[in-house]
A and B are shown apart, each in its own frame.
Chain A
Amino acid sequence: MGSPFDINGGACVAMVGKDCVAIACDLRLGMQALTISNNFPKIFNYAPSTYLGLTGLATDVNTVSDLFRYKVNMYRLREERHISPRPWPTCPVLAGINQTTGKPFICGFDSIGCIDFAKDFIVSGTASDQLFGTCEGLWEPDLGPEDLFETISQALLSAVDRDALSGWGAQVYIIEKDKVTQRLLKGRQD
């Protein structure tokens, strides 16, 4: 049996643009080499412009996303306001725009909570090596929403095509101050 991180497969990436951020994931759910589903999104929405991408063991993706939804709901009831993107010690990739400051924010975590604040991009999942290569090659500072969408999509699709455990379509969120665009990418089905 392999590492729990590699059983179900999956990839996630977030990028910063000019007054916007993007977060994208693939749609595959597998059991080792066998694909179970091609509709398993790994990005979850917790508040306006606060998105969380989770990769790794699928059961923990579900558990953490549910637990996080519970915690966020409790926060909203207690504080009587929406939660803003800031580090939480349970989430692998976080992307959003701070509603008060309007600043784009992304960060990543390892599974035991080490935070990685990045000014450019965050990658995670079984295709992380490939994503590091494509993002480092394609990303540039101050991309507008449309250019950022194209960049993150090309980076994700090309990366997952070189990873046997990721792919089968992708989902992309472009997050601006007061607008979120969700797009579904077909991608190779193999």
Chain B
Amino acid sequence: MTSLMDHQARETVGYSFSESTAGVKQHGFYPYTDNGGSTLGITGSDFAILAGDTRSTSGYNINSRMVPKVFKIGGDDETGEGANIILSVVGFAADGTALKERLDTVVKMYKYQHGKPMSVSACAQRLSTILYQKRFFPYYVHAILAGLDEEGKGALYSYDPVGSYEREQCRAAGAAASLIMPFLDNQVNFKNQYIPGSGEGHALVAKKPEPLPLETVKGLVRDAFTSAVERHIEVGDNLQMVIITKAGIEEVYHPLKKD
């Protein structure tokens, strides 16, 4: 309500010409842009999946139909061979690239200095520190980190732009996160699902979330993205899926709608 009244008070006579005398006009430089797109991660008992669409946008323009958002971290060469951690970044793509390259370097250095690959939990903590170090000029990205933990179980960590992080079973990020996340709550963590006939009212027993098999998860990821493509203009072109298991990292692409 106050803002409405402020507006009233500030209302002055409108001139048809521009008011050049009313102070110097500043053209600021804004160091961020939003490149759209969406990412998603789900873990299972012995795997983790990170997925993202490959569209890059600025405003209503499609820059490119093939800009992957999921990267292998700490691999031995340009192809990422030998990596055991994957990272997805969505938001401001230039910051995403910079963040990915910094983390990649850190994980490589760790391997050279300690003679063993960095654990996913250690990498997760390090990524949080990297993000928080830029607390007052943040990397404008939503990052998701995935791999296998010490017990061989799928591990997934999600971040906000300034480094708050949490280990989760599943997470959607980016432009269509608000569309995908409630679908995941329902289909992965079985939120709002109850065991039929288990009782009335408070006696009703909630369906417990349990790790899903890989093929089911792949199907959910594809469903989530085909749904997001239908209703969000910044999502589309191709679906990149990176699956990490004890056998290694598999990367697959599926076509999505290009409209």
Contacts and interface: CB of A to CB of B under 8 A. Distances in A.
A71 B179 CA distance: 36
Interface stretch (B132-140, B184-192, B236-244): B184-192
A13 interface: no
A161 B185 contact: yes
Interface stretch (A20-28, A103-111, A126-134): A126-134
A132 B231 contact: yes
A2 B1 CA distance: 9
- Interface of B, secondary structure class, is helix
Nearest to B186: A158
Contacts, number: 61
A137 B187 contact: yes
A133 B185 contact: no
Taking each of B2, B182, B185, B223, which has the highest tally of chain A beta carbons within 10 Å of its own beta carbon?
Answer: B182
Interface residues of B, number: 24
Given A133-B179, A161-B185, A186-B201, 10 more contacts: A1-B2, A133-B183, A133-B224, A134-B186, A136-B227, A136-B231, A137-B223, A158-B185, A158-B186, A187-B192
9 tightest Cβ-Cβ pairs between the two chains A and B: A133-B179, A136-B227, A158-B186, A129-B178, A157-B192, A137-B183, A158-B182, A162-B182, A132-B231
30 contacts: A1-B1, A1-B2, A1-B3, A1-B4, A130-B178, A133-B178, A133-B179, A133-B180, A133-B181, A133-B227, A133-B231, A134-B186, A136-B179, A137-B223, A137-B224, A137-B227, A138-B186, A153-B192, A154-B186, A154-B192, A158-B185, A158-B191, A158-B192, A159-B182, A161-B182, A161-B185, A162-B181, A162-B185, A186-B201, A187-B192
